[in-house]
Chains A and B, each alone.
Chain A
Amino acid sequence: DTGVSQDPRHKITKRGQNVTFRCDPISEHNRLYWYRQTLGQGPEFLTYFQNEAQLEKSRLLSDRFSAERPKGSFSTLEIQRTEQGDSAMYLCASSLTGVNTEAFFGQGTRLTVV
């Protein structure tokens, strides 16, 4: 399977704990995106990378969120001191660099903070 892979698929954590998610993009894609989706809403942009450089981060993103893409391949998204409001589907996507390119999404990681 050469699609975008996310791990884990589901995560239940207690409030205040830290969680980390992993995303493996399509191998030839140099752009990688993180989005968050809650019920009844569309994906909300969090951040994106071109190779290992983090090019944009949403102003709405709390300092508790951090993302890395150390070697320009896989990426991790960490949430520190989780809150119940962090419960959502976290989606990773990747794309080629270009003016008009579409992103390919993974199946997402469902986070539940109890």
Chain B
Amino acid sequence: GNSVTQMEGPVTLSEEAFLTINCTYTATGYPSLFWYVQYPGEGLQLLLKATKADDKGSNKGFEATYRKETTSFHLEKGSVQVSDSAVYFCALSLTGGGNKLTFGTGTQLKVEL
């Protein structure tokens, strides 16, 4: 079946530190990959996406590269801010599956001054 595995949190960083949140996937087809972010008490928002191998999604200083050879889509940011504190979800969708998303378990990020 299809699945997404994320590193467990919480991840606690100091402001301006470098962030990596690991995400790997298993899929029966050729998926599109997404990162969604959930701020406290809110729904999810799309952060970035990539639809084919070697694509790089980027938004708000965050980046992730679709690596088919390692089935990975790791999220990175060079310098985190307190306002980046949230839960980050990696997800995939498959061709022919409409827009049904398979989500990872989420990784909580806490950024401290």
Query: Is B one of A's binding partners?
Result: no
Binding site for B on A (CB under 8 A): none
Binding site for A on B (CB under 8 A): none
